[in-house]
Amino acid sequence: MISLPRSVYLHVPFCRHRCGYCDFSLMTGREDLFDKYFLAITRELDRVQVPLELDTLYFGGGTPSHLGSEGLRRLFDSLEGTLCVCPGAEVTIEANPIDITKEFVKSALACQVSRVSLGAQSLNNKTLRALDRQHLEIDVRRAVELLLAEGFAVNIDVMTAAPGQSLDEVENDLAAVIALGVHHVSVYCLTWEKGTRFESMRLRGELSPVSESIEESMFEMAIDRLEEGGFSHYEVSNFARNGFRCRHNEMYWDCRPWEAFGPSAARFDGQTRLTNHRSPTTWMQRVLEGIDPVEERDAMTDLAAARERVVLGLRRRDGLDRTAFFSVTGFSLDNLIGELIARWVLDGLAQDNGQQVRLTRPGLLVSDALWGEVLLNR
């Protein structure tokens, strides 16, 4: 029997500006569609037959904070009666530092938001310009100060390998982030996605990625500095102070079922992943016309699910436990990828104590290639 999900992701597709590297499902300059969006969310929620009791609720985007204080209240009002936030639940909202005002903070508190993830990317104005961001370093500092004063758990996203960025600039960014006193840091390397403005500029020779060796040095520096600053490196890209891991992300990595609403949102019932149409306007139109907004259905075989669990497990610094893996999947880890593990250990990419398998730091640096080996291994 498939249990009811205790986590929900809700996609808010509005932004004030599409950054040059962004390929997410979003719209800019379409505040006129707020009302239609709220109505569509309410309609999509109608498919929930039994109110869901939630341990985690995550609002991503886009930029959910772009809704403003009144829009945030309206969004939460639309969830009433369908999504029930349990006491002690983690309720996260992604936010642009510019949007964090006293009025917005007041609304977030009233809506039971407990955690805010700031898309800061950097505290260096030169790097922010290079990343096509519209906020400044001072906006990040003001936002963090306001949020911490009201007791929110705060995550900051940090982006490395920006065009023209140096190792020293990354080190200074990390020192500044640590000094802010936030609870969680997510570190991402700039990726050049097809169809983005940055990728078009790269193809025309107007922008150049940093070298692979510098990119790796930046990632290693992030690990070193954040661990020295009191953060635990608990997943490839994520660092947390004690007690502040992202519970919603851990739900994903545990392969637990979750619900999802909004354009491009993907939900998982434990066996099948269903993804809504990527276009915000198409999603709204379908939902409001009573048409199923799902665009992709991926029914996973037991074997495919086990392989995915390997990848998600190895992303975590705790790694994979053989007994637990067999108990959950019915597959022996060694029968599944034993030859890969042996080669990784020989190459210094993994450690294996007979019970637990985890990636080493060199393994983390090439982890994307290792995931491909796992998923394609026969």
Res 309: pLDDT: 95
40 has pLDDT over 60: yes
Q: How far apart are CA 111 and CA 106, in angstroms?
A: 9
- Domain 303-376 CATH assignment equals 1.10.10.10: no
141 pLDDT exceeds 60? yes
Work out the average pLDDT over 54-77: 97
Asked if residue 377 has pLDDT above 80, the reply is no
Q: What is the pTM of this model?
A: 0.95
- Over 80: is that where the pLDDT of 359 sits? yes
Q: How far apart (Å, rounded) are the C-alpha atoms in residues 230 and 113?
A: 25
For position 175, what pLDDT does the model report?
Answer: 98
pLDDT value at residue 208:
93
Nearest in space to 49 (alpha carbons), one of 16, 82, 12 = 82
- SS3 state of residue 35: helix
Among candidate residues 370, 238, 232, 255, the one with its CA nearest the CA of residue 314: 370
Average pLDDT of the chain, as a whole number:
96
Residue-level pLDDT at 3? 76
Q: Torsion over CA of 189, 98, 64 and 62, rounded to 10 degrees?
A: -40
Q: What is the pLDDT of residue 378?
A: 55
- The letter for the amino acid at 144 is V
**Residue 2 pLDDT level (bands cut at 50, 70, 90):** low
Q: Per-residue pLDDT for 1 more than 70?
A: no
CB 65 within 8 A of CB 100: yes
CATH 1.10.10.920 domain extents, the chain: 303-376
Q: Could you give the percent of the chain with pLDDT greater than 70?
A: 99
**Interval 288-330: pLDDT, tens:** 999 999 999 999 999 999 999 999 999 999 999 999 999 999 9
Q: Considering the chain, tell me which residue range(s) the CATH 3.20.20.70 domain(s) occupy.
A: 7-253
Residue 60 near residue 93 (C-beta atoms within 8 A): no
Lowest mean pLDDT among 3-7, 44-48, 346-350: 3-7
Fold adopted by 7-253: TIM Barrel (3.20.20)
Asked if the model's pLDDT at residue 362 lies above 60, the reply is yes
- Residue 299 amino acid letter: A
Strands (E), the chain: 7-12, 14-15, 27-28, 52-61, 83-95, 115-121, 153-160, 184-189, 232-235, 238-240, 259-261, 266-268, 272-276, 294-299, 320-321, 350-352, 356-359
Token duo for residue 139: 């906006």
Q: What are phi and psi of 91, to 5 degrees?
A: -120, 110
Q: What is the pLDDT of residue 376?
A: 83
- What letters, b where the CB count within 10 A reaches 16 and e where it falls short, cover 263-289? bbbbbbeeeebbbbbbbbeebbebbee
How far is residue 90 CA from its own chain's centroid? 14
**Predicted confidence (pLDDT) per residue in 209-259, tens digit:** 999 999 999 999 999 999 999 999 999 999 999 999 999 999 999 999 999
304 membership: H or E segment, kind and range: helix 302-315
**Residue 8 — pLDDT band, cuts 50, 70, 90?**
very high
